[in-house]
Amino acid sequence: MLSFNHVSLTYTNGKTEVHALDDINLKIEKGKRYAVIGPSGCGKTSLLFLMAGLLSPTEGEILLYGKQLDGPYRGMALILQEYGLLPWKTVWENAALGLALRKVPQTEVNCILEPVFKELDLTECLNRYPSQLSGGQKQRVALARALALQPEILLMDEPLSALDALTRENLQKLILEIIIKHKITCVLVTHSIEEAVFLGQEIIILSARPGHIRTVVSNPAQGSEGFRHDLRFHEKCTEIRSLLEAPCNDRQ
């Protein structure tokens, strides 16, 4: 559905240039789940913003269903690390924000949000403000806002990094159930090897800046029942760790 052909990205601020991504070639297939991992500052967020149409490549092209991506696409939703909730709006209003921006009529908004709130177990706190929520609840509101848009593709930038280990694992499980149930294509940026292995059918490993794709590792057992406690989960984590720790010689 989405393909990157020789995509490079350089940020220019006055006389300063930062070469963030170099010669990215990548295909995102419909219905698949991807995790992106790599050293800090290697361009993971930049890659996600390119996918979201929020940045344009300096070189190369990004095609969505064969057509050049030239801005945000309606079928995409993006979840950011800091939840992106407006503190002066309630849970309900925050979740409805994307729909309001798309001018969806109020009656339809109610019909769309009700099952989403149920699925995310948020019905008890719809009138609360973000300051009255736990980190896990805030992240579920951010997820509700994204799911309300009924996205074909869900882009997530380290969505769970601020959470404690147990809440994080529970939300990983919830996200996985939801994206499988709704057949959503998903790209997750993470620093966590375990998270990448738990949520990524394909794990994209980036080099240090300028980020390029070192390798894409298939993770065929991902999504299977009890995967987190499966030997294959631990073996895949070890494989990804050694790839991340190996010196990067692939450009010499």
Ligand X SMILES: Nc1ncnc2c1ncn2[C@@H]1O[C@H](COP(=O)(O)OP(=O)(O)OP(=O)(O)O)[C@@H](O)[C@H]1O
Tokens matching residue 188: 């997750």
Measured over the CA atoms of residue 235, residue 241, residue 247 and residue 249, the dihedral's sign is positive
By CB under 6 A, tell whether 208 contacts ligand X.
no
Do the Cβ atoms of 204 and 48 come closer than 8 Å? no
15 near ligand X, rule: CB under 6 A:
no
141 alpha carbon, distance to own chain's centre:
15
Segment interacting with ligand X (CB under 6 A) among 27-35, 43-51, 194-202, 236-244: 43-51
Q: Nearest approach, Cβ of 166 to ligand X (angstroms)?
A: 24
CB of 205 to ligand X, least distance (A): 12
Q: Which residues contact 245 (CB under 8 A, 6 or more apart)?
A: none
The CB-of-159 to ligand X minimum distance in angstroms stands at 13
**Shortest Cβ 89–ligand X spacing (Å):** 27
11 binds ligand X per the rule CB under 6 A:
yes
The amino acid that residue 242 corresponds to is S
Using CB under 6 A as the binding rule, whether residue 65 contacts ligand X is answered as no
- In b/e form, how buried is each residue of 136-156, taking b as 16+ CB within 10 angstroms? bbbbbbbbbbbbbbebbbbbb
Residue 82 engages ligand X in binding (rule: CB under 6 A)? no
Cβ proximity to ligand X, 19 vs 32, nearer residue = 19
Q: How many Cβ atoms are within 10 Å of 18's Cβ, its own excluded? A: 14
Longest CA–CA span in the chain (Å) reads 59
Where are the strands (E) in the chain, listed by range?
2-13, 16-28, 33-37, 59-64, 67-68, 76-79, 153-157, 185-189, 202-206, 213-218
Residue 209, interface with ligand X (CB under 6 A)? yes
Q: What x/- string results for residues 168 through 207 when contact with ligand X is judged by CB under 6 A?
A: ----------------------------------------
Please identify, among the stretches 39-47, 112-120, 144-152, 212-220, the one whose residues bind ligand X according to the rule CB under 6 A: 39-47
Residue 135: enclosing H or E segment and its boundaries?
A: helix 135-148
Q: How far is the CB of 81 from ligand X (least distance, A)?
A: 8
Closer CB to ligand X, 9 or 142, in the complex: 9
130 versus 210: smaller Cβ distance to ligand X = 210
- 107 part of the interface to ligand X, by CB under 6 A: no
Q: What does the binding site for ligand X look like in residue numbers (CB under 6 A)? A: 11, 13, 18, 20, 40-46, 209
